[in-house]
Structure 1
Amino acid sequence: MASTKSQARAAILAVRRSLSEQTQERESTLLARHLAALIRPGTTVCAHIPVGSEPGSLAIVDDIAGRAGSVLLPVARESDDGTPLPLQWGRYVPGKLVAAPYGLREPEPPWLPPETVATADVVLVPALAVDRAGSRLGRGAGFYDRTLALVNPAALVIAVVRDDELVDHLPSEPHDVPMTHALTPGRGLVTLASRR
């Protein structure tokens, strides 16, 4: 893995952009199978709608919504000075998403405050990579870093990555909130040696 976060991001994004549509669909199908075994009725899940070549699909979120008690999606906004704010949350209703900043899709208002993440049993976190100690490499904006400190300590905090994006070591910083698990297409749910 590259020695700096910016080098690692560039390398991973280059690989993701090179993936065929068939590979992305196959991996998405495998992720859906693993999540079907994980999500129980009554579970509250914080999920996300993948953007571009991120692992997963809208169909996976629809499937989770059919299994879970509640699905919450992130709402990313910045303060007036451009500082990323902790994520707000919107209740997912299939077919009711709107365009949002950063190329995202999100539920329509009303939105729930950042502290709502503490109600989740499972938090699915987009990631470019995660290491075996739970360090996650995100895109660098800081929305999740500002939010994950609010998660219930008993929740599963799962980085959703491709198989080769689960690595031995990543550079990390003190503010990085560790993941408890990784979810990959080929390996399924992998327990990490999290510092949580």
Structure 2
Amino acid sequence: MKAFGSVCSVALPLLEDRIDTDILYPARFLLLMDRDGLGTYFCHDRRIDADGHPISGNLVDDPRFAGAQVVLAGDDFGCGSSREQAVWALAGYGIRCVIAPSFGEIFAANCLRNGVLTIVLPRHTIDRIAKVSGSIVVDLRHQTITAGIDEVEFSVPSANRMRLLNGWDDIDLILEEEGAHVAAFEQRQQSEQPWLYEDAR
């Protein structure tokens, strides 16, 4: 998993409340088995009409927000059904951070699992950031957002922060927390039950 230190990017404003996982990744695409390329389907039905033509005026494809790695969102972002593909599509599109007043609980957990930083801020603060033209800087090391001349502090649970800073996935996290115990157990077992390891030599 890619480590998250800081991101400097324009921010994509998806500020309506309750943008759910079906908006982020429509259910009819759930049968797609290859995680690679799912970014194509991020907010698909907001971007492409039923005939396969681009929808003019949609924010996701607005040139002002081209290359955005940060989303500014409304309340309860990522609510709805539990589908990790919504986060895969978000990340596949290039989004590394979402800032919202609140998140769907499972969606936020899936973001953490996939290296996407979620930040909770009051709506009035998000609206203020959205008015800034140009790039903003999200710095996880110092837990600050710089938007124009404004600097906003945020807080992320320390365990989540360390996980994102180091790019640890679930297995990395287990090895970090329990690696010494696992190694000690293997050493003790190999000494006490060497026949279990004979084929590995």
TM-score (norm 1): 0.32
User: Which structure is higher in helix share?
Assistant: 2
The structure that has the greater radius of gyration is: 2
Higher relative contact order (CA 8 A, sep 6+): 2
User: Which structure is higher in strand share?
Assistant: 1
